[in-house]
Structure 1
Amino acid sequence: MVQQSEFPVLETERLTLREINKSDASSIFKYLSDPEVMKYYGLEPFESLQDALDEISWYQTIFNEQTGIRWGISLKGTDKIIGSCGFLNTVSNHYRTDIGFELSKDFWGQGIGSEAIIAIIQYAFENTNIQRIQALVEPLNIASQKMVEKAGFLQEGLLRKYEYTCAKFDDLYMYGLLKEDYGKNRSKTLI
């Protein structure tokens, strides 16, 4: 992924996607301590503000090491982070990356997650050399499956016992979106 020296700020009709910093720790802690939000996140619900600060530190590390980027999601006109989305596990020599996202339960069902991931997909395909974006989604996480499908991802198969998180093995559906498919489907996915 071509890395910029400055963190890119993205805007959509309703959202601002920006860099997350330490001053956002209490907002992040609020939603990442919610068991419902964390149900499919692959981590236990956060127990302290330090957990949120550690997460923010990880966001900064993946950006600096060019292995990913994580945007904070805020409603336009506010600065409060209500979720995050971005890319991780970027493999530059294979031109691929994984997408991830989560949103405060207070904002579920409003299309905010879809609006955010469509913006970052557009950023990746139009501003970097990424050719493939993949999403790993637990079979019971129907909402995330619908969101990535709406964004144009195709389900490619089931990875059995692919991850060991929270003291259990998780099966994950592999979804993929290719740059050439994005170009064909762009008009269908834009909100």
Structure 2
Amino acid sequence: MTRRELIFPQSFPTIHTERLLLKQATIEDAEDMHIYLSNETVCRYMGIDAHETIEDTKGEIKWYDDIFKKQTGIRWGISLKDNPAIIGSCGFLNLEKQHLRTEIGYELHLDHWRKGIMSEAIAAVLRYGFQEMNLNRIEAIIDPANTASVQLLEKINFVREGLLREYDLGQNGFDDVYMYSILKRDYK
């Protein structure tokens, strides 16, 4: 039996889809990203407070760089092919190399909700994770009140595995979350 191993990219990969460019976010993107990361509606289910300053957003970009350098995750900035401004992000965090498992996270500028953009971005990121990185399992931890995210994940074949009671410590105490996953063998 051959041992399966994670393949982490040596340099930051760029992904092209029909309408999108998924690329590395840089400090030069901070102003564009601050527009949506300072919006409380966008940040409501992200587990972070809406950014108050551009320095908060630069800290987010630094975190993206740090998880890539430490090989614990990879987060792509999302832009439309005809406009280089980053309008959201999507990627992996809490990468478990030994178990070929990771968690997916994402957010999108409010002006671009319900246009299929995040479905397209997640599909590309899943494809990269399963085909290029050799992942076996991708998880999503979702606030049960985030019905748009629940619908999105179920539409792209994630399976709800259960409710994790008081899993996260939020602003108002401990929060329950749904655990979703998709396996390499189930990916279409």
Amino acid at match of 1:173: Y
C-alpha distance after superposition, 1:76-132 (max 9, x if no partner): 021100000000000100110000000000000101011100000000000012100
Distance 1:93 1:43 in 2: 28
Match of 1:75 in 2: 80
Once the two structures are superposed, the pairs formed by residues 11-50 of structure 1 within 5 Å of their partners are 11-50=16-55
Q: 1:59 aligns with which of 58, 61, 64?
A: 64
Task: Please give the secondary structure, in 2, of the residue aligned with 1:4.
Answer: coil
The answer to whether the Cα contact below 8 Å between 1:159 and 1:171 also exists between their aligned partners in 2 is yes
User: Deviation at 1:3?
Assistant: 1.7
Match of 1:143 in 2: 148
Q: RMSD value over aligned CA atoms?
A: 0.8
State the identity %.
48
Distance 1:79 1:150 in 2: 28
Task: Please give the secondary structure, in 2, of the residue aligned with 1:81.
Answer: strand
Match of 2:3 in 1: none
TM-score by length of 2: 0.95
Task: Please give the secondary structure, in 2, of the residue aligned with 1:54.
Answer: helix
TM-score by length of 1: 0.94
Amino acid at match of 1:30: I
Runs of 4+ in 1 over 4 A off after TM superposition: none
Match of 2:127 in 1: 122
The answer to whether the Cα contact below 8 Å between 2:9 and 2:133 also exists between their aligned partners in 1 is no
User: Deviation at 1:166?
Assistant: 2.4
Distance 1:73 1:51 in 2: 19
C-alpha distance after superposition, 1:24-70 (max 9, x if no partner): 00111110110100110101110000000000000000001110000
Distance 1:147 1:13 in 2: 19
Task: Please give the secondary structure, in 1, of the residue aligned with 2:90.
Answer: strand
